[in-house]
Amino acid sequence: MNNRYSAEYARCCGLTVFRHIRNDPLFSVFEKLLGFLSGAGSPEAGKILSCAGEFLFLLAGRSPILDWGRAVEDMVLGDENPYTRAVEATAGEPAGSSIPRPEIPGALTALAEHDLESLRILAALHPGKIIETLEEMCGDAAVGLPAGLFHADTVADPEERLSQKKLLSRWKEGAGIFSGADSFVWENGRLLPVLTPDPITLEQLIGYETQREVVLENTRRFAAGFRANNLLLYGDRGTGKSATIKAAARAAAFLRVKIIEVRKQQLTEFPQIIDFLRDRNFRFIIFIDDLSFDRADESYVGLKALLEGGLETRPENVLLYATSNRRHLVKERVQDRIGLGSVDAETEIRAQDSLQEQLSLADRFGMTVIFSAPLQDEYLRIVSGMIEKRGLKADREKALADALRWEKWYNGRSPRTARQFVDWLEGGEAAPWDRMD
């Protein structure tokens, strides 16, 4: 039995607050290797070598230079547990918030510090030394294990990487999934970070300045901890409703505002989503794009309760921003109004009540911001602004004339159409009608 590795194996098994790290596939196979080295069981050489190969494969996926210390650091920084959640809660909260900020209990801090000391020691282990020891254990069967490929520069300085100051600073920025992302989606009952979020910024958007300022001011109030309204952005397609929401959230990210996209089909999961977000030291904009309901779709009832009227109040750190091409979110048909004056036995007696229930959903958003299709002058101003921002060298008069022809040929007058035209212009190709001449 190797006494040193026996102690390190015990450190793996004895993690408490950071115990979830043991479920990480890379850490799990590392722990298994330490178990072999410490003499925990007597596996055959084939199992040991297979485990070593899996460890190297997983480590290479995390760090091409096989930096085990860096891999441990990433696991520690990304772990969500009672301690990291408590550290997150100590970060500065905007004025106006009523979320309590208790001190971290001393016992919890002591457990965490004990774990972190163990993890520093484990991070300092040299993978090459471990592989060499495995070679000795397996004898001739270990031919091919690449212990010689490891160099000193693949070993992290654990005191530097896992320093208390660095860890606390990162956890205050966010624990677990919130440590490195501002944009998320809700998928299969889980919150997932968006790996390549839309980079749109307010500076890139042209036109609709009045509407955009309403959204931005509401977001500023929300980020500052004051009362703000749920927003419904209604209007014609391609007018920049979704882009406005994403850009406003991006502008407020430094104020601990995060955006979560939820699809209409997931409305029934709102209680689960809200429970996950409640009391976190962030402010969340739940973004629902292209919101509308069929008459038979009862899921809008859950949204109504969340907006206003449910027994459980929406937490103050959550707002809803939605876009729609429909002013009244529930599609209304002619037959829905038949019962208003009909005596037909098949029609609903209280049709007026049902109609009002359907139409009241949009009213429950505190503010409705209207994005109408631009008039010609506004459309051309958007085109000109995009050309200028991209620094394109183009004949202005011809470009604007082509922009008018483009909107007639394609998707109508909108900022989206303007962008599509400028994309084509930037490509340097002749317009479709020019190629037909």
Per-residue pLDDT of 287-336, as tens digits, reads 999 887 766 566 666 677 677 655 556 788 999 999 988 666 555 554 55
- pLDDT, tens digit, for every residue of 151-205? 444 555 666 778 888 899 999 999 999 988 999 999 988 999 998 999 999 998 9
Q: Which residue has the higher pLDDT, 277 or 353?
A: 277
Helix (H, G, I), strand (E, B) or coil at 384: helix
- What distance in Å separates the CA atoms of residue 58 and residue 40, rounded to the nearest whole number? 23
Q: Tokens 């019962």: give the residue.
A: 339
Confidence of residue 345 (pLDDT cuts 50, 70, 90): very low
Give the residues across from 320 on adjacent strands. Answer: 286
The pLDDT score that the predictor gives to residue 346 is 47
Give the residues across from 371 on adjacent strands. Answer: 235
Give the mean model confidence (pLDDT) for residues 216-237.
92
* DSSP H/E element including 244: helix 241-251
Q: Can you spell out the DSSP letters for 106-146?
A: HHHHHHHHHHHHHHHHHHTS-HHHHHHHHHHHHGGGGTT--
φ, ψ of residue 24 to 5 degrees: the values are: -65, 130
- pLDDT, tens digit, for every residue of 365-374? 888 999 998 9
* DSSP H/E element including 235: strand 231-235
- What distance in Å separates the CA atoms of residue 221 and residue 198, rounded to the nearest whole number? 23
Output the six-digit token pair for 124. 């300092």
Q: Tokens 């992290």: give the residue.
A: 156
User: Residues 6 or more apart from 266 whose CB is under 8 A from it?
Assistant: 186, 273
- What distance in Å separates the CA atoms of residue 296 and residue 181, rounded to the nearest whole number? 37
- What distance in Å separates the CA atoms of residue 205 and residue 293, rounded to the nearest whole number? 29
- Amino acid 38 reads S
| CB neighbours of residue 343 within 10 Å | 7
pLDDT of 75 above 90: yes
Of 226, 184, 290, give the one whose Cα is nearest residue 93. Answer: 226
pTM: 0.81
- What distance in Å separates the CA atoms of residue 224 and residue 96, rounded to the nearest whole number? 7
Q: Tokens 């509401």: give the residue.
A: 218
The pLDDT score that the predictor gives to residue 133 is 80
- High-pLDDT (> 70) share of the chain, %: 76
8-state DSSP, 200: -
Which three-class secondary structure string do you get for 10-42? HHHHCCCCCHHHHHCHHHHHHHHHHHHHHCCCC
- pLDDT, tens digit, for every residue of 392-420? 888 888 889 999 999 888 888 999 999 99
Compute the 3-state secondary structure of the chain and give helix, strand, coil in percent, each to the nearest 5: 55, 10, 35
Of the candidate ranges 61-70, 321-330, 339-348, the one whose mean pLDDT is the lowest: 339-348
The pLDDT score that the predictor gives to residue 308 is 66
Q: Tokens 């406003």: give the residue.
A: 248
Give the mean model confidence (pLDDT) for residues 206-214.
93
- pLDDT, tens digit, for every residue of 20-48? 999 999 999 999 988 888 876 566 777 88
